[in-house]
Amino acid sequence: MTTQPYDILIIGGGMVGASLALALQPLGYRIGMVDAYSFGTSRQPSYDDRSIALSYGSSLIYQGMGLWDSLQADVTPIRQIHISDKGHFGAARLSARQEKLPALGFLVESRVLGGCLYEALESSTVEQINPAQVVNIASLAETLEITLEQQGKTEKIPCRLLVAADGTHSKVRQLMGGAVTREPYQQTAVIANVTPEKPHQYRAFERFTANGPIALLPLSDNRCSLVWTHTPEGAEQTLQYSDKAFLQALQQAFGYHLGRFVKTGKRTAFPLVLSKAQSVISTRTVLIGNAAQTLHPVAGQGLNLGLRDIAQLAELLASGELEPGSTAMLQQYARARQPDRETVIRYTDSLVKLFSNDSSWLGHGRACGLMLVDRLSPLRRLLTRQSMGFRHRKTRLGRGLPLQRA
Ligand SMILES: Cc1cc2nc3c(=O)[nH]c(=O)nc-3n(C[C@H](O)[C@H](O)[C@H](O)COP(=O)(O)OP(=O)(O)OC[C@H]3O[C@@H](n4cnc5c(N)ncnc54)[C@H](O)[C@@H]3O)c2cc1C
């Protein structure tokens, strides 16, 4: 490692950090990316067994980054979303055809996305530093000095802009003294890939039940990616079930929209929390992705929001008008991201709370709401556009266009 400052040092090489490094790569900055794990190892926590619903807007961002061509072969399109509330009438259907688009979004296995990002990083100019941990951050006159611990040794490296993409428990956020509000949902998501008897026909299902939402999203080979929310005790029990008992319990909760469930893969649990940094900027530092906000996966918005953080940051750094890490640049970034961030956090949190409440009048209200969404095209359009990540297409990457440094 040299002591020449990095223009941009990214801490965290998960889905968000690695995507940012690749988005910035054509701009000619000196970029370093640090991760606690060696890339490509199965211990890397960002690339686990979950599958990710990428919104149509996110597919445009990857297109602008030049990655969509290699990803496209491994994604499954979502052509319809079916939203229902168990035990109540009414359902809402959102469809790609109504939007005159090939898909509302795409499902990708996070390991596959990781493989694609790392292949691109291998042939990039991004300097990868791993396995390494950040242990200290000091503010100097025109840079930050980051102390990294790597294989028992410490090293200090300067940078002009530090990007924290180190996830929910961000060490950078802690070291910078950033306040965070945390609200555990007392819910745990159990994920698994399951195979139903009937073809999924590229439909995604969001079914709200008294115990929590069930999302079933289309994957290749007629598999479906399941995200099933439980109480922590319910999740523990669900993990203990035999495959047969698990499929029976799922059948009972989800119903027969896809016929019988015939097969399940490995089950994994994720405790769910809403975590929100009070500010996404501090001295020469910006927080993005889960380090800035961690959401309930009910609406599949976490990575999609993180990709829009990336598109905005890349747009500012491409303009060349503001020095990376300068106060003016950071403030412009925070201002630009606030409306989208606030809307998605509120939307996701309200959805969890509205549909986790079992009061009967709320149940009737939800049923009416779903019927209204189904029947009123402006309302349906608004919800569809929100799901597709279409309401914030102000950046070049957000419109699927490549970035160039001005
Ligand atoms: C069950 C489930 C389903 C989901 N489904 C969807 C979906 O359908 N659509 C969607 O958009 N989102 C979804 N999400 C959310 C999405 O997975 C996250 O928003 C996304 O993974 C966040 O990525 P990240 O890179 O910000 O953080 P992380 O994935 O947590 O990555 C952080 C990285 O930082 C590294 N790191 C941590 N600490 C340090 C340190 N001190 N020093 C160096 N490196 C460090 C880690 O090794 C890791 O590589 C889902 C989440 C869950 C739990």
Residue with tokens 């950033």: 178
pTM across the whole model: 0.93
Q: Which among 267, 232, 228, 219 is positioned nearest to 251, based on CA atoms?
A: 228
Q: Pick 6-182+273-399's CATH classification: 3.40.190.10, 3.50.50.60, 3.30.9.30, 3.30.70.20.
A: 3.50.50.60
Q: Please state the atom number of ligand 1 nearest to the C-alpha of residue 168.
A: 30
Interval 280-302: pLDDT, tens: 999 999 999 999 999 999 888 99
Tens-of-pLDDT digits for all 406 residues of the chain?
Answer: 457 899 999 999 999 999 999 999 999 999 999 999 987 666 677 778 899 999 999 999 999 999 999 999 999 999 998 888 766 656 778 888 887 888 999 999 999 999 999 999 999 999 999 999 999 999 998 999 999 999 899 999 999 999 999 999 999 999 999 999 999 999 999 999 999 999 999 999 988 887 778 999 999 999 999 999 999 999 999 999 999 999 999 999 999 999 999 999 999 999 999 999 999 999 999 999 999 999 999 888 999 999 999 999 999 999 988 999 999 999 999 999 999 999 999 988 887 877 665 555 555 555 555 555 555 566 556 666 666 666 566 899 999 999 988 7
Token representation of residue 123:
């042939």
Helix (H, G, I), strand (E, B) or coil at 316: helix
Write the CA distances from 243 to 13, 253, 261, 262, integer angstroms: 34, 15, 11, 10
Token representation of residue 289:
């992705």
Residue with tokens 């799901």: 387
Contacts of 312 (CB under 8 A, 6+ apart): 333, 336, 337, 395
Ligand 1 proximal residues by C-beta, below 6 Å? 11-17, 34-37, 44-46, 50, 52-53, 133-134, 165-167, 171, 189, 191, 227, 270, 289-290, 297, 300-304, 306
Nearest-CA residue for atom 53 of ligand 1: 270
Residue of 19, 34, 35 to mutate, ligand 1, most atoms within 8 A of C-beta = 35
Q: Which among 233, 203, 197 is positioned nearest to 215, based on CA atoms?
A: 203
Which residue ranges make up each domain of the chain? 6-182+273-399
